Structure 1
Amino acid sequence: MTVSTEIPSSRYLPTATANTHIRTALLSAPTTQDVQVAGIGTTKTRYVIRFKNPESAEGTKLAKPRFGIAVHRTPTEGFDLDGDKARAIEKIMEENELTERSYRIEDLVWLKKKDKVLGNFASLGIWFDLAEETVLPLSAIWPPSGEDFF
């Protein structure tokens, strides 16, 4: 019988499988080898690791999942992600009535190589908090209805 050591490329693993992978990962890193895990459970969007003592949790961080879409051929003129990302998020939320739908944009980023100059149009990565928020048709997200969008 052959046992695979490959981790499945799935976001949602069965709890027992996730438990094994998480414990193996903690044991394989020098900084977390002595961590004492009391248990591992799941919620709708993440795994919860309970530690036996507070010292075991020191230095750990919570990484929450993000769900993204790419919007291609987005006009870049007047769209300042480096200077005022919060305003850009707010504007996209307003233009597409995402606030009324209780959606939340977690992050925006131009999908380009760092050494490339931003052109007139580019692909825009939009990350949401929940997977359900990514199912809107792209026309509902972008482009905005008016020409003066910033």
Structure 2
Amino acid sequence: MRKENPQLLSPQVFVVLMRGFASARMVKKAIEVLNEMPKYGCEPDEYVFGCLLDALCKNRSVKEAALLVVSCRFNITQGNILQFPMVEVCDYFKEMVERGLLAAPQYGTLKDLLNSLLRSDKLQMAEDVWSCIVSKGCELNVFAWTIWIHALFSNVHVKDACSY
């Protein structure tokens, strides 16, 4: 296709592939498609990255989506990473909690998400995620509270950490 009809290779073609791999729970393959786009003359942008996060989260790979955001493997400006995808990840995380898909939060994902939000000075967004988890009756043990307090403290929100 690249040789015979290069005009047919668009970001949408890659999005379809990523969604297909994500729905088959082939997370590594979905991310590999994103990483291979430049080889085919298609530079991934915020839309493509958002579609990948969307597909991963909708197919219950929220932890992998959060890790993708945290690892910053996607080559766009830091400002865009912190604005668009993080909002998407938070929305999907909260949606999963609201739908009862996380009776007990996956603590590794929770830790990564809260730390990422606080490192990027998104305290209000982190508090929204935390309050959603608490208000929906998720089973929060000492480990979950320790993650929240440690994330606040290590990101220089000492007063807020002490209040918890």
Pick the structure with more strand per residue: 1
TM-score normalised by L of structure 2: 0.21
TM-score normalised by L of structure 1: 0.23
Pick the structure with more helix per residue: 2
User: RCO (CA 8 Å, sep 6+): is it higher in 1 or 2?
Assistant: 1
